[in-house]
Structure 1
Amino acid sequence: MNLPAKPVTSLQNYQVVLYSRALHPELFLMRGRRVFRHGQYEAEAWVMRGAHAFRFEFGTMCACELVVDQEGGLPSAGVIAAFPCAGERDFDHSFKRAGVHYMTTVQTESLSDNLYMSTHDEMLNHARATECLSFSWNEGGPCLSVVDVQKYNREVHCQAYHLQAVGGVVVRTQTIFEHV
């Protein structure tokens, strides 16, 4: 099942879904993929058009965060939590058996044209300078998805930004997986 591209994006469509398992790449139209192995954990990031997935494995534990601008057609097996991104949200979950903690903060905005373009240009420059995962496309103006990952000994951080020109939509997530 491939997720169809949506012609118009609204903040109301964006959601975070946390899974207790890995997701299959063939279910998504990936535009970039990167695997990170560090210490005792492995992480993987996927960038998609206006969306991303972030997988974390530690021992036998596996979890995956999906941020996407659609409600239907998503895998339902292994869902721990799902919530809309609109506004500002914080969420955390402990995988007690594995000694892993997940935390995420989501912020969304609808910007004016000038502020949107300034934000787009700043994020595009950041993506180029840091060589993080990114995907650009044009739909009613320049759009951009960026996934930036930082590795530490006991945790991994993932900042993702999804900018959609129609409506000046900006979705920002900051996620941490940490193990003890």
Structure 2
Amino acid sequence: MISVRPKIAELVYQLYGRSLHPELFDLQQSRTVERGAYKATVQITSAGHIVAWQYRGLTLTEVAAGAHHPLPQRRRLMSYRLKGERTDRIEIRPGLTYEMNFSLEPADHEKFAAYQRELTLAGTRQGMLQRFEPSGRFETGALSYVNIESRDKSLCVQAFHTFPDDSAVLKIQSWYRLGG
């Protein structure tokens, strides 16, 4: 199983109003949360992550994946290249909103090493942590850390993905909120 991360320039963020086939992705870890009336499956992939959130027959799927990855266009609600910063919000139906923001932060060697240490420490305490093999250019491999905060009427997913070859950290935070 290849576990070296692709280059950051090759990544996109997408949101779908449907489920996606898991065989499309190189899955590393998976966790399912059921709370209130919703269910969410959060997965770390070789390129980023997937969140499949289900509520009363509706499925929203958030994906951070390679731009050249063969993903469908049908029922795609958002699509952005993962560069710079972006915030977006969509009302799926009355009382149900999805919000996200992401930022790609370049870091010098010291700051990047500090990010890696902080994420490793956080991953030993809570959330999901995936270590990737070094690409060969650097001694250290990439990390993915995902923290899940669930409440009866909301789910917050915080994902951090490091890219040693690009000396960058990608932060993605998303909220699934039920009105009330």
TM-score relative to the length of structure 2: 0.90
Query: 1:133-173 CA distances to partner (integer Å, 9 max, x unpaired)?
Result: 22101223321011111101210000000001102121000
Inter-CA distance 60–143: structure 2 relative to 1 (3 Å threshold):
same
Inter-CA distance 168–58: structure 2 relative to 1 (3 Å threshold):
same
Tell me, yes or no, if the aligned pair for 1:49 and 1:135 is still in contact at 8 Å. Answer: no
Tell me, yes or no, if the aligned pair for 1:39 and 1:153 is still in contact at 8 Å. Answer: yes
Quote the residue 1:162 is aligned against: 161
Q: CA deviation at 1:32?
A: 0.3
* Distance in structure 2 (CA, Å) of the matches to 1:7 and 1:129: 24
DSSP 3-state at the match of 1:142: coil
Tell me, yes or no, if the aligned pair for 2:27 and 2:45 is still in contact at 8 Å. Answer: yes
Quote the residue 1:134 is aligned against: 129
Equivalence map 1:48-63=2 (5 Å) = 48-63=45-60
* Distance in structure 1 (CA, Å) of the matches to 2:76 and 2:116: 32
* Distance in structure 2 (CA, Å) of the matches to 1:133 and 1:7: 17
* Distance in structure 2 (CA, Å) of the matches to 1:72 and 1:51: 12
Quote the residue 1:94 is aligned against: 91
Equivalence map 1:1-180=2 (5 Å) = 8-10=6-8, 12-96=9-93, 99-130=95-126, 132-137=127-132, 138-139=134-135, 140=138, 141-180=140-179
* Distance in structure 1 (CA, Å) of the matches to 2:23 and 2:163: 24
Letter in 1 for 2:53: F
Q: How many residues align?
A: 174
* Distance in structure 2 (CA, Å) of the matches to 1:135 and 1:6: 11
Tell me, yes or no, if the aligned pair for 1:109 and 1:171 is still in contact at 8 Å. Answer: yes
Inter-CA distance 78–126: structure 2 relative to 1 (3 Å threshold):
same
DSSP 3-state at the match of 2:142: strand
Tell me, yes or no, if the aligned pair for 1:50 and 1:144 is still in contact at 8 Å. Answer: no
Residue identity (%): 18
DSSP 3-state at the match of 1:71: coil
Tell me, yes or no, if the aligned pair for 1:106 and 1:171 is still in contact at 8 Å. Answer: yes
TM-score relative to the length of structure 1: 0.90
Letter in 2 for 1:92: R
Q: CA deviation at 1:74?
A: 1.8
Give me the CA root mean square deviation.
Answer: 1.7
* Distance in structure 1 (CA, Å) of the matches to 2:67 and 2:131: 19
Q: CA deviation at 1:175?
A: 0.4
Q: CA deviation at 1:109?
A: 1.2
Tell me, yes or no, if the aligned pair for 2:5 and 2:142 is still in contact at 8 Å. Answer: no
* Distance in structure 2 (CA, Å) of the matches to 1:116 and 1:69: 22
> Is there any run of 5+ residues in structure 2 with no aligned partner, and where?
none
> Is there any run of 5+ residues in structure 1 with no aligned partner, and where?
none
